[in-house]
């Protein structure tokens, strides 16, 4: 009988199967790859009716921009959104996971999710992995107890603040907030301030760039302004584009027609016994 | 030595009008020695979904086998093929599962979704998805491919024009990369047919 391991879909969580092999490779001088980071400037602030979150849209892989328009404001619950900085896979996976857990919790309790619930679920998970899950998050939302804004660091510590910035562009954005923030901002003032802070990150930080995404959350609902501002349009496109009159040399062509869908004719003759 | 530069690869996928094209180079090497010039990097998952895997060839083969297994299970349970968006989520989850001991692969997924809408996506080696509306690239020649695609890409190209564009982008980029090349392999998929073509390139 051969020692075969039947691979069933795993029950969840991380699998460390390949760690030994990867460590062996590292010892032989094979460097591990770099992961996609989100460079990033992410901000949040509390205004008179709720919370406004903002983010840039650049994703980097080392020094190369791999995505010029990615989404960094992740959905957690209808009244809670989360911006993520750090390793892109970690922020996406952790926000997706907590979003599912919040949905199950909503079904269980029959109530709207609270921001502190999301906060606790996230910080417990991140602390559990001692900072190896490299996700720095700005969590904001409005629930029955009012508007809340929190920052969560990769090691699991959290802060509750009226305005917050994270990511490589956080210093540039914080400079704008520190000089212009005041309590009781109106919606338009808040959006303008968030946009200015993100633009400050986009233009001064190399890890952030492209467009500004804004999300306004109030007791009534949320407004996700995707690409609210596009200060970096592509202006150098050749309108004629490239055309290739001289064809590429082809060695072999194989055409596979895709099967046509089978039509079922209703009301056909019944089968005879 | 970088692990992604052990075998060398170049992959690109582009979106056209109700069609998509996915292309790869054909070299398989062990660092600077070429050991195969007809290596298949792009595999079919089902008639309207293709997967290209760049990076370490052994991990690419293992990952491909696991994904085909999961897709076959899905087909048995759901009695239909997987949508490209769902497949992308599956690949992302399988890669992220190995977050602290990853597969050294970068997948490029291209498929036709509902209403024949083309879908392309790439990920890094731990499953961070990048959904693009125009083109995605992966492999050792990715930096050149980014440049070539940025300038050559146009919106809403017809299938034949798309084929020319993706071939030119691939061949010009692999010419600037020592570790990939030796021809090209292009799959052009429209709702009615799949055209597979092998390109003639520089064999150096």
- Inspect the interface and report whether the beta carbons of A254 and B124 lie closer than 8 Å: no
Other CB atoms within a 10 A radius of the CB of residue A130 amount to: 10
Structure tokens at B119: 């879908």
- pLDDT score recorded for residue A5: 59
- pLDDT score recorded for residue A8: 61
Structure tokens at B35: 């050991």
Residue A121 CA to residue A141 CA, distance in Å, equals 15
Structure tokens at B31: 């660092």
- Inspect the interface and report whether the beta carbons of A33 and B128 lie closer than 8 Å: no
Q: Which of A28-37, A43-52, B18-27 has the lowest mean pLDDT?
A: A28-37
Name the residue with tokens 């989404």. A71
Q: What is the mean pLDDT of residues B132-156?
A: 93
A30 and B CB contact within 8 Å: yes
- φ/ψ of B107, rounded to 5, equals -85, 150
Of the partner residues A14, A255, A258, the one whose CB lies closest to the CB of residue B97: A14
- pLDDT score recorded for residue A200: 93
Contacts of A183 (CB under 8 A, 6+ apart): A162
A251 and B CB contact within 8 Å: yes
Q: What are the tens digits of pLDDT across the range A193-215?
A: 999 999 999 999 988 988 999 99
Residue A216 CA to residue A52 CA, distance in Å, equals 4
Q: E strands along A15-79, which residues?
A: 42-47, 50-55, 59-61, 64-67, 73-77
CB A132 within 8 A of CB A90: no
Split at pLDDT 50, 70, 90, the class of B20 is very high
DSSP lists the bridge partners of residue B184 as B25, B199
Residue of A nearest to B1 (CA): A30
A252 and B CB contact within 8 Å: yes
DSSP lists the bridge partners of residue B197 as A253, B186
* pTM, two decimal places: 0.87
- Chain A hits for B195, CB-CB cut-off 8 Å, are 253-256
- pLDDT score recorded for residue A1: 44
User: What is the per-residue DSSP string for A178-212?
Assistant: HHH--SS--HHHHHHHHHHHHHHHHHH-TT--S-E
Residue A135 CA to residue A153 CA, distance in Å, equals 7
Of the partner residues A15, A61, A87, the one whose CB lies closest to the CB of residue B98: A15
Q: What is the mean pLDDT of chain A?
A: 88
- pLDDT score recorded for residue A3: 46
**CA distance, residue A12 to nearest chain B CA (Å):** 8
Is the per-residue pLDDT at A260 higher than 90?
no
- pLDDT score recorded for residue A35: 77
- pLDDT score recorded for residue A259: 72
Is the per-residue pLDDT at A21 higher than 50?
yes
Other CB atoms within a 10 A radius of the CB of residue A15 amount to: 14
Name the residue with tokens 């509750």. A160
Dihedral sign, CA of B3, B6, B10, B11? negative
CA Rg, chain A, in Å? 25
Q: What is the mean pLDDT of residues A163-192?
A: 94
- pLDDT score recorded for residue A10: 61
A203 and B CB contact within 8 Å: no
- Chain A hits for B123, CB-CB cut-off 8 Å, are 89
A96 and B CB contact within 8 Å: no
DSSP lists the bridge partners of residue B125 as none
**Quick one: what percent of chain B has pLDDT higher than 70?**
100
Q: What is the mean pLDDT of chain B?
A: 93
Is the per-residue pLDDT at B108 higher than 50?
yes
Residue B167 CA to residue B164 CA, distance in Å, equals 5
- pLDDT score recorded for residue A2: 43
Coil, helix or strand at residue A10: coil
Dihedral sign, CA of A46, A49, A51, A54? negative
Give me the interface pTM, i.e. the ipTM. Answer: 0.86
Question: Helix H segments across A73-184?
Answer: 88-109, 115-128, 170-180
- Inspect the interface and report whether the beta carbons of A242 and B98 lie closer than 8 Å: no
Other CB atoms within a 10 A radius of the CB of residue A243 amount to: 10
Is the per-residue pLDDT at A51 higher than 90?
yes
- Inspect the interface and report whether the beta carbons of B193 and A9 lie closer than 8 Å: no
Element (H, E) at B128: none
Residue of B nearest to A256 (CA): B194
- Inspect the interface and report whether the beta carbons of A253 and B197 lie closer than 8 Å: yes
CB A48 within 8 A of CB A189: no
Split at pLDDT 50, 70, 90, the class of B169 is very high
Interface mutation vs chain A, best among B99, B133, B192, most A CBs within 10 Å: B99
Q: What is the mean pLDDT of residues B71-84?
A: 95
């Amino acid at each position: 009988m051969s020692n075969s391991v039947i691979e069933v879909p795993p029950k969840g969580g991380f699998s460390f199967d390949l760690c030994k092999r990867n460590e062996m490779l590292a010892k032989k001088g094979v460097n591990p790859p770099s992961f996609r980071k989100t460079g990033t400037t992410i901000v949040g602030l509390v205004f008179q009716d709720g919370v406004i979150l903002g983010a840039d849209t650049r994703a980097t892989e080392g020094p190369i921009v791999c995505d010029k328009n990615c989404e960094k404001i992740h959905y957690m619950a209808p009244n809670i959104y989360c911006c993520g900085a750090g390793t892109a896979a970690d922020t996406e996976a952790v926000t997706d996971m907590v979003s599912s857990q919040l949905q199950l919790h909503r079904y269980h309790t029959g109530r709207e999710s609270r921001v502190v619930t999301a906060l606790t679920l996230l910080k417990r998970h991140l602390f559990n992995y001692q900072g190896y899950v490299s996700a720095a998050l700005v969590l904001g939302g409005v629930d029955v107890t009012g508007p809340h804004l929190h920052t969560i660091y990769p090691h699991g510590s959290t802060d509750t603040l009226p305005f917050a910035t994270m990511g490589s562009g956080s210093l540039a954005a914080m400079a704008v907030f520190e000089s212009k923030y005041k309590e009781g901002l109106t919606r338009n003032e808040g959006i303008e301030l968030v946009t200015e802070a993100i633009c400050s990150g986009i233009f001064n930080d190399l890890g952030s760039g492209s467009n500004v995404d804004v999300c306004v959350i109030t007791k009534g609902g949320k407004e996700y302004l995707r690409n609210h501002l596009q200060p970096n349009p592509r202006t150098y496109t050749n309108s004629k584009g490239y055309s290739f009159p001289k064809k590429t040399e082809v060695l072999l062509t194989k055409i596979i027609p895709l099967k046509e869908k089978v039509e079922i004719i209703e009301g056909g003759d019944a089968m005879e016994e | 030595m970088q692990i992604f530069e052990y075998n060398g690869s170049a992959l690109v996928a582009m979106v056209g009008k109700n069609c998509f094209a996915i292309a790869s180079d054909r070299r398989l090497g062990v660092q600077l020695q070429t050991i195969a010039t007809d290596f298949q990097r792009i595999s079919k998952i089902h008639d309207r979904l293709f997967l290209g895997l760049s990076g370490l060839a052994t991990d690419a083969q293992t990952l491909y086998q696991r994904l085909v297994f999961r897709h076959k299970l899905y087909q048995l349970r759901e009695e239909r093929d997987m949508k490209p968006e769902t497949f992308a989520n599956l690949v992302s989850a399988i890669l992220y599962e190995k977050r602290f001991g990853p597969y050294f692969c970068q997948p490029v997924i291209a498929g036709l979704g509902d209403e024949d809408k083309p879908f392309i996506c790439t990920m890094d080696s731990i499953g961070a998805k990048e959904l693009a509306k125009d083109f995605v690239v992966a492999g050792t020649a990715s930096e050149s491919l980014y440049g070539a695609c940025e300038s050559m890409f146009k919106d809403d190209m017809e299938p034949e024009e798309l084929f020319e564009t993706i071939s030119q982008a691939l061949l010009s980029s692999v010419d600037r990369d020592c570790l990939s090349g030796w021809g090209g392999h292009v799959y052009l998929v429209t709702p009615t047919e799949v055209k597979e073509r092998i390109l003639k390139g520089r064999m150096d």
